[in-house]
Amino acid sequence: MAAKRIFTAAMATETNTFSPIAIDRRAFEESFYAAPGAHPETATLCTAPIPVGRRFCAAEGWELIEGSAAWADPAGLVSGPAHVGLRDEILDQLRAALPVDAVVLGLHGAMVAQGCDDPEGDLLARVREIVGPEVLVCAELDPHSHLTAKRVAAADFFVVFKEFPHTDFVDRAEDLWRIVVDTLHGRVRPVMSTYDCRMIDIFPTSRQPMRGFVDRMMRIEAEDARVLSLSAIHGFMAGDVPEMGTKMIAVTDGDAALGAELAERLGQELFANRGRHMMPVLSGEEAVAQAMAAEVFPVVIADIWDNPGGGTAGDATVVLKALMARGATGVAVGTIWDPIAVGLCTAAGVGGVMPLRFGAKSAPDTGEPVDALVRVEAVEPEAAMVFGESVVPFGPAALIALLDATGQDTGVQVILNTVRAQSYDPSLFTAMGIDPTAQKILVLKSTNHFYAAFAPIAAKILYCSAGKPYPNDPATNPYRFVRPDIWPRVADPFATGA
pLDDT at 178 over 70: yes
Closest CA to 104 of 116, 94, 114, 89: 94
Edge to edge, the sheet with strand 63-71 lists 32-34, 63-71, 5-12, 102-107, 136-141, 157-160
Distance CA 153, CA 333 (A): 45
DSSP output for 468-492: -SS---TTTS--SSS-SSSBTTSS-
Question: CA distances (Å), 255 to each of 133, 140, 471, in order?
Answer: 19, 21, 40
Q: What is the pLDDT averaged over residues 147-153?
A: 98
What pLDDT, on the 0 to 100 scale, is given for residue 497? Answer: 54
Distance CA 93, CA 98 (A): 9
Distance CA 178, CA 163 (A): 19
Tell me the whole-structure pTM to 2 decimals: 0.94
Q: What is the pLDDT of residues 304-354, one digit of tens each?
A: 999 999 999 999 999 999 999 999 999 999 999 999 999 999 999 999 999
pLDDT at 498 over 60: no
Question: CA distances (Å), 330 to each of 129, 213, 289, in order?
Answer: 58, 38, 15
The answer to whether 365 and 357 are in contact (CB under 8 A) is: no
What is the rounded average pLDDT for all residues in the chain? Answer: 96
Q: What is the pLDDT averaged over residues 46-73?
A: 97
Give the pLDDT band of residue 28 (cuts 50, 70, 90). Answer: very high
Residues 6+ apart with CB under 8 A from 1: 185
Q: What is the pLDDT of residues 212-252, one digit of tens each?
A: 999 999 999 999 999 999 999 999 999 999 999 999 999 99
Residues 6+ apart with CB under 8 A from 197: 245, 246, 247, 248, 267, 268, 270, 271
DSSP output for 130-153: HH-TTSEEEEEE-SSS---HHHHH
Distance CA 435, CA 430 (A): 6
pLDDT at 53 over 90: yes
Distance CA 298, CA 398 (A): 22
Q: What is the pLDDT averaged over residues 156-169?
A: 97
> H-type helices in 275-398, by residue range?
284-293, 318-325, 339-348
Give the pLDDT band of residue 211 (cuts 50, 70, 90). Answer: very high
Assess whether the previous peptide bond of 42 is cis (omega < 30° from 0). no
What pLDDT, on the 0 to 100 scale, is given for residue 468? Answer: 84
pLDDT at 459 over 80: yes
Give the pLDDT band of residue 390 (cuts 50, 70, 90). Answer: confident
15 class by beta-carbon count within 10 Å (0-12 exposed, 13-18 middle, 19+ buried): buried
Q: What is the pLDDT averaged over residues 10-17?
A: 98
Question: CA distances (Å), 114 to each of 31, 173, 260, in order?
Answer: 20, 29, 34
Q: Is the four-CA dihedral 244, 362, 478, 444 of positive or negative sign?
A: positive
pLDDT at 496 over 80: no
pLDDT at 34 over 90: yes
Closest CA to 312 of 110, 15, 19, 17: 19
Q: Is residue 82 within a helix (H) or strand (E), and if so which, with residue range?
A: helix 80-97
The answer to whether 386 and 425 are in contact (CB under 8 A) is: yes
The answer to whether 410 and 402 are in contact (CB under 8 A) is: yes
pLDDT at 495 over 90: no
Q: What is the pLDDT averaged over residues 15-34?
A: 94
Distance CA 450, CA 185 (A): 39
Q: What is the pLDDT averaged over residues 485-489?
A: 96
Distance CA 103, CA 228 (A): 18
Cα 196 → chain centroid: 22
What pLDDT, on the 0 to 100 scale, is given for residue 294? Answer: 97
Closest CA to 177 of 35, 37, 14, 59: 59
Q: What is the pLDDT averaged over residues 412-434?
A: 97
